[in-house]
Amino acid sequence: SLDLLLAALNGDPVSADGEFFRFREVRTVPSAPLRPVVACTSDQSVRLAAERGLPMLLGMHVDDAQKAATVASYGTGQGHIAAAVGHVADSTRQAVAELRAEMPRWLEPGLAGYVPIDGKPRPPRDVQKYVDFLAGIHPVGSADHCVETITRTAEVTGIGHLILMVEGMGEHARTLENVRRLGAEVLPRLA
């Protein structure tokens, strides 16, 4: 399926006569300006991305050392992206406390509903410990702390593109305030 998608996105003619899809040869127009990014959570998905020269998206559930190891196992290639939690407050203590108070409310039901694709049962996760872990490895804190964390992640992993999950407070107005602060207090210092 990925190879069919890549061919279509490249503007090559594609057709299918398989178990799930059957269609005559067609050309996708206009061709897509962007290439897929593979969400990599296993050795197999890293290998799949590397074999096709596709960039990886590395999840927020792994720390910088794990991201760096994944990038190294990929081999040569650029354009990888890392997901992270991003939350700015007046102090790091305040930012962590805010997420500890609010994230479990919406994160716990989401984690409980996760079904692995392989059908294996997922061991239960202590949501509060997971929030603490996320707050400890991501740009969650004062503006200075966020700048330091993002800079360190880029240096350790070689990944220069971070996408931030900014909705940790689970409330629209607080999310907008967080985005405003990230844009005003953190991002200008990362150029």
Residues 67 and 141 in one domain: yes
Residues 116 and 126 in one domain: yes
Residues 26 and 99 in one domain: no
The maximal CA–CA distance of the chain, rounded, in angstroms, is 59
Nearest to 62 by CA among 126, 146, 134, 120: 134
Residues 44 and 82 in one domain: yes
Q: Is 68 helix (H, G, I), strand (E, B) or coil?
A: helix
Tokens of 180: 């405003």
Rounded to the nearest integer, the mean pLDDT of the chain is 93
Is the preceding peptide bond at 123 cis, omega within 30 degrees of 0?
no
Once rounded to an integer, what is the mean pLDDT over residues 80-90?
Answer: 98
Please name every residue paired with 16 in a beta bridge, in sequence order, or none if there are none: 23
Nearest to 2 by CA among 76, 42, 54: 54
Range of the domain at 8: 1-36
Q: Supply the pLDDT for residue 122.
A: 77
102, 169 contact by CB (below 8 A): yes
Residues 84 and 17 in one domain: no
* pLDDT tens column, 118-133: 778 877 889 999 999 9
Residues 108 and 178 in one domain: yes
In this predicted structure, the answer to whether residue 24 has a pLDDT above a threshold of 90 is: yes
* pLDDT tens column, 25-74: 998 888 788 889 999 999 999 999 999 999 999 999 999 999 999 999 99
67, 58 contact by CB (below 8 A): yes
Q: Supply the pLDDT for residue 20.
A: 84
CATH number reported for the structural domain that contains residue 161 in this entry:
3.20.20.30
In this predicted structure, the answer to whether residue 92 has a pLDDT above a threshold of 90 is: yes
Tokens of 98: 């805010």
Residues 88 and 114 in one domain: yes
Nearest to 28 by CA among 7, 59, 49, 57: 7
Residues 172 and 109 in one domain: yes
Total-model pTM: 0.86
Once rounded to an integer, what is the mean pLDDT over residues 175-184?
Answer: 98
Residues 44 and 23 in one domain: no
- DSSP secondary structure letter of residue 62: S
Residues 42 and 32 in one domain: no
Alpha helices in 113-142 (DSSP H): 127-137
More confident residue, 140 or 2: 140
Residues 31 and 88 in one domain: no
Task: Count structural domains, the chain.
Answer: 2
- Rg for the chain, CA atoms, rounded: 19
Residues 113 and 58 in one domain: yes
